[in-house]
Structure 1
């Protein structure tokens, strides 16, 4: 338990934030749903203060928007939002892969291998939710292997949006190609080939963009 009232408040605020974000990512709170501070506080059995602070953070990260006369609603994630997201992600993912090929440790490479093995098993077993979660873990691990704290800070806010996009657009038909591309990317990083890793990462994001936009458009 937290040692001070300030710690307790921060922990409660963070807990509320994580729960609300997960409900949005998993689709329990779909796009357009109005979130009422008082109702959320009652449902989560907390005061309105941590709920308000969590909602403000979610708004800053693009999960909520404030509309006139409606208040806070879950933000849309349609083709336009996806295009903006992918434009940023393509450059940052390529940079992360390039740096990972230069700085990845043996332990880091083992971690990537374990994630990829679990992803392939989950995909083959048809466990889509687990596959989506592990997919995000794989990309997050590459960012960590970059060894660049600034890049990690820049990518962290995008992680939740990436998971939400995967949940909205991924299907059984997309998991096998995804695993194959991840295997190729891991091979380039393991081979210490920064250019190949960057090119593969960029190509992977481009393929994901095309698939996601098609799914969102339909």
Structure 2
């Protein structure tokens, strides 16, 4: 339950990790980019020590690699890795949707429907740049509902493991955005009907379609 207790301040290493993770996840730092600890420290206004700690965490996340005489480099993933990524997402998020169909509450459905309506309005207004992040919230909320102990955390870890350039988002294409919204609507209907098998099948199809689009664009 929410409390009014103050949260501990974010450490400098956590701050650097959060910034770099977001920049890598959204491909603002593209694959193949060298990350120099000194340069990152100067840019973020911290010492080199928290940067090195953050880079070690990113290495454990398999988002960067170290090479002799080259230092840290953002991993550049090919088609095989993308196929594995979207296949894993389909399994995790599909299972979460099936479990969510048996656990979803009226309040959960209201939250998802409100987000869906906001996305539909953005499509009508041509605000396509907002949709990818909203879709992320939609998917992760379902994962949290279906698997609050493990699946929600795993869904986030999987999504953070592969950068998605803003230009690669299918949500930037008007026709694709409408198709994806229709998929969300069908998933919502399956959840409302407590139809776990249908929710799982629809989620798997939805995620795999996104993967097909990513690999061909």
- What's the TM-score bracket when you normalise by the shorter of the two chains? 0.7 to 0.9
Structure 2 residues without counterparts, runs of 5 or longer: 1-5
Contact 1:119 1:134 in 2 (8 A): yes
Change (3 A) 1:70 1:166: closer
Counterpart of 2:182? 180
- TM-score in terms of structure 2 length: 0.87
Change (3 A) 1:169 1:98: same
Counterpart of 1:203? 205
Contact 1:64 1:75 in 2 (8 A): yes
Q: 1:130: Cα distance to partner?
A: 1.4
Residue pairs, 1:1-218, within 5 angstroms = 11-161=11-161, 164-165=163-164, 167-170=166-169, 171-172=172-173, 173-215=175-217
Distance of 2:165 and 2:37 partners within structure 1: 27
Change (3 A) 1:152 1:40: same
Query: SS at 1:202's partner residue?
Result: helix
Contact 1:77 1:165 in 2 (8 A): no
RMSD over aligned Cα, in angstroms? 2.0
Mean CA deviation greater in 185-194 or 73-82:
73-82
More helix by share: 1
**Aligned length, in residue pairs:** 208
Query: SS at 2:31's partner residue?
Result: coil
Q: 1:166: Cα distance to partner?
A: 6.4
Change (3 A) 1:66 1:127: farther
Q: 1:77: Cα distance to partner?
A: 3.2
